[in-house]
Structure 1
Amino acid sequence: MKKNVWRIMLIIVFLFSYLIINTKVLESNNKNVFSIPGLPRPIGKEPVIITSAGQSTNTYIIKDISNRLMLRSYFLPQAKSNDLKEAKTIVFSIDYSPLSLKLQGKKYEEEKERIKELVDKADHIDMKIVSIVFGGKKQNKKENIELLDIVLPKSDYIIGVKESYCESYIIQIAKDNDIQITLVDGVKAIYEPFASIFR
Structure 2
Amino acid sequence: MSGRVTIVIAAILCITAMTLLYSSASEKETGTPADKRIARGKQLVIEGNCDYCHTPLVETNEGLVPDMKRRLSGHPRDAEIPRLPANEIGSPEWIEFLGTLDTTEWAGPWGLVFAKNITPDPETGIGKWTEEIFVETIRTGRHIDLKRDVLPPMPRQDYGKLGDEDLKSIFAYLMTVAPVRNAVPKPVPLPGKKSGE
Q: TM-score, normalised by structure 1?
A: 0.31
Higher helix share: 1
Query: Larger radius of gyration, structure 1 or 2?
Result: 2
Q: TM-score, normalised by structure 2?
A: 0.31
Higher strand share: 1
